Structure 1
Amino acid sequence: MSSPTSLHLELPALPGELQGLRQEVRRFVAAERASGLLPYPDKIGLGFAPDVSRRIAAQGWIGMTWPKRYGGHERSALERYVVTEELLAAGVPVGAHWISDRQSGPVLLKFGTEAQKQEWLPKIVRAEVAFCIGMSEPDSGSDLASLRTSGTREEGGWRVNGTKLWTTNAHRVHCMIALIRTAKADEKNRQAGLTQVLIPLDSPGVTVRPIKSMVGVEDFNEVNFDHVFVPDSHVVGEPGNGWNQVSAELAYERSGPERWLSTFRLLAELVQALGPKPSDAARVEVGRLLGQLMAVRQISLSIASMLERGKTPTLEASIAKDLGTRLEQEMVRAVRNLVQQEDLWLRGEHAHLRSLLASAQRYAPAFTIRGGTGEILRGVIARGLGLR
């Protein structure tokens, strides 16, 4: 069986000097593959490999834009984008540091206390700790303002009770930044009274229950809080300001290249399987997918530039996520159709393509849910455009 080829994205949108960084990442991935430390991916998803994350950290590729005083490297958002793009396109398992680097660290940088920054950020940069997101709940769906996990005030902190659901990697990570209700909702402002708190997942009263998906893996979790004490020192930002903070956090979550690169390896394997002389119909279909992919990439890049300038592009991030989700699902359908149309199943050498496609078909429904459903995102977009 031949090794999978690499299909790389090359656009002039990034400054030319970043090409050296791109090649540096590719050399790292090639060396990891050659050493046997980094197997070729056989399923869709970020993967969770703490040892790989630590080796990525040793390259200086976690916390790239953060201040050096917190262990960061003070590089540009576009440099981080190049590294992210290359790691995802190659199918490197980055899940052990992904959420921490993408959004938990930036939330602490923007809203955390100095003590929180000093305690957590250097550990994230070294890939010593990993975070998960504590937003979704049972019966709340995408209506985040209806969450019921509560924080009751008591001396020195808050007593937390409730449940978070669909919490990715909670059974593997160290800490959650949870959104909880610390005051009653105002009927005219349901988003009021929400607060973000840091909850180490080994705290007394925390129970994490993995949920097996139809893909056959346990990535999602239900996390229960039974009278969990959260000291005041673990409140992130101002009590009651949680909604504004989460809105900023979701811009990081929704706009990144993982919103259109989750299925990229599948497309790369298809191109390898089609060979140097694909049929006219296959060329047209692959060209159509690549055209859409490049368009979404340009939107994602523009949002990275906005984030670097300190903006909160909530509307733009929602557009990127909605378009990226639709592209990812369309890519799975298109690859499946081409595999059947070109009789690729009859050629036994394409094991990576078969395994990736089987995984992608089971995983694809989750694309519309993670980071907000398409219906919710289109509502955000409509409001941002003044249409509702």
Structure 2
Amino acid sequence: MDNVLNVFRLAVLPPEAEAFRNEVKAFLRENMPATAADIRARTWMGFNAGFSRRLAERGWVGLTLPDECGGAGMDAFHRFVLVEELLAAGAPVSAHWIADRQSGPLILKFGTETQKRFYLPRICAAQAFFCIGMSEPNSGSDLASVRSRATRCDDGWRLSGSKIWTTNAQHCDYMIALVRTSGVPEDRQKGLSQLIVDLKAPGVMVRPIQDLAGDAHFSEVTFDDVLLSPDALIGEEGSGWLQVNAELAFERSGPERIYSSVVLLDLWLAHLRKTVASAADVALAGHFATQLATLRNMSIAVTAKLARGESPVVEAAVVKDIGTEFEQAIPAAIEAAIATGRDADIDGELYRAVAYLSQIAPTFSLRGGTREILRGMIARGLGLR
């Protein structure tokens, strides 16, 4: 237990990472147009390829990838600062988000030299956008019950099956899919591999799924005997489960698991500053501030582990679980505060922002692993099961 909890000892961002924050703020002042809060609240779900390419021109997509791959060669602390500022501003970063956060690092760690030479420079230039193919229909959170199957053939691989809740698949160029390459679904984690799927290939069908807010971030993707190249396989055949857990550590470790509601929180605090805030509102603001400060310190501690080249699978799960609970509490509490009628002078922007986040907040504890799955991982990491 001590080994798991020690990672949450206080860590600080190095001075050079804090200095980098000024560059990011200056970039955002020049490149972020005035946008309503309910639009900015979409941030890492907001797809804007042009904005991603402007970031890439600064070298800030694939920030942690090596120079020779087209990246900036910066460390995980710099990426934390970049992500924190982008999310706080509500920047539309969804186009490059998954490729930058996990697909690129995954290819760098497990990919072939051919894959690295082809995909990584395109990721860093925001010319190749990736989505994740993990969840499948009728499987719930049981990621190991994969039924999509890829079979070797003379020309490479033949893939059939389907994936669901695939963020931005309708906009992306490629998917890294967890599929079965041997055995049967009852084999669970055995026989799973990861393959890169060209989403423009014949036999791939993408069906967007509209959510309660009217957006279509998610998609169902079906594969009908799709031919993939021989070099589609990432890493070794049968190592998919190991690789996907390393990938999920990248997905769960960043500040996006804390800041999904921060645009609303900032807007509400700005509203309180213009009014005579009640004691209840002041207490609520203080409650949010202490939670955010604690979670941020935990997230920086996980970042420190990434900077050391470690894979904080369990620690990232802890931050993600507590962080998404915090993200969900913000719109619920602010909505309740507004409903008391203590201050009727509330503008439409605040209403729209809280309405959007109230609708979308239930997904925060689903994406990137459900609360139940994460707590099972944490229990195993602590030796409790």
1:206 lines up with 2:242 in the alignment: no
1:373 to 362, 370, 373: 370
* Residue number in structure 2 paired with 1:17: 16
The equivalences for 1:305-324 within 5 A come to 305-324=304-323
Verify the 8 A CA contact 2:37 2:264 in the aligned structure 1. no
- Structure 1 residue 41: deviation in Å? 3.8
- Structure 1 residue 82: deviation in Å? 0.4
After superposition, give the CA deviation of every residue in 1:110-161 in whole Å (9 maximum; x if it has no partner). Answer: 0001110110111111111100000000011111110110112212322110
Q: Give runs of ≥4 in structure 1 deviating > 6 Å.
A: none
Could you say what secondary structure the match of 1:22 adopts? helix
Higher RCO (Cα < 8 Å, 6 or more apart): 2
The equivalences for 1:56-75 within 5 A come to 56-75=55-74
After superposition, give the CA deviation of every residue in 1:189-209 in whole Å (9 maximum; x if it has no partner). Answer: 620100000001000100000
**Residue segments in structure 1 that go unaligned for 5+ positions in a row:** 1-10
* Residue number in structure 2 paired with 1:54: 53
* Residue number in structure 1 paired with 2:233: 235
Distance 1:159 1:31 in 2: 47
Distance change >3 Å, CA 115–CA 17, structure 1 → 2: same
Verify the 8 A CA contact 2:11 2:297 in the aligned structure 1. no
Root-mean-square deviation (Å): 1.6
* Residue number in structure 1 paired with 2:96: 97
Distance 2:13 2:36 in 1: 28
Verify the 8 A CA contact 1:158 1:230 in the aligned structure 2. yes
Matched letter for residue 373 of structure 1: T
Verify the 8 A CA contact 2:145 2:185 in the aligned structure 1. no
- TM-score, normalised relative to structure 2: 0.93
The equivalences for 1:284-295 within 5 A come to 284-295=283-294
**Residue segments in structure 2 that go unaligned for 5+ positions in a row:** 1-9
Matched letter for residue 263 of structure 2: R
Could you say what secondary structure the match of 1:184 adopts? coil
* Residue number in structure 2 paired with 1:358: 355
Distance 1:140 1:312 in 2: 27
* Residue number in structure 2 paired with 1:6: none
Matched letter for residue 13 of structure 2: L
The equivalences for 1:160-309 within 5 A come to 160-185=159-184, 190-275=188-273, 277-309=276-308
Distance 1:41 1:266 in 2: 7
Verify the 8 A CA contact 1:65 1:73 in the aligned structure 2. yes
Matched letter for residue 76 of structure 1: D
- Structure 1 residue 302: deviation in Å? 1.2
* Residue number in structure 1 paired with 2:115: 116
Distance 2:79 2:324 in 1: 22
- Structure 1 residue 69: deviation in Å? 0.6
Matched letter for residue 347 of structure 1: D
Could you say what secondary structure the match of 2:188 adopts? coil
Distance 2:19 2:150 in 1: 49
Q: How many residues in Structure 1 have an aligned counterpart in Structure 2?
A: 372
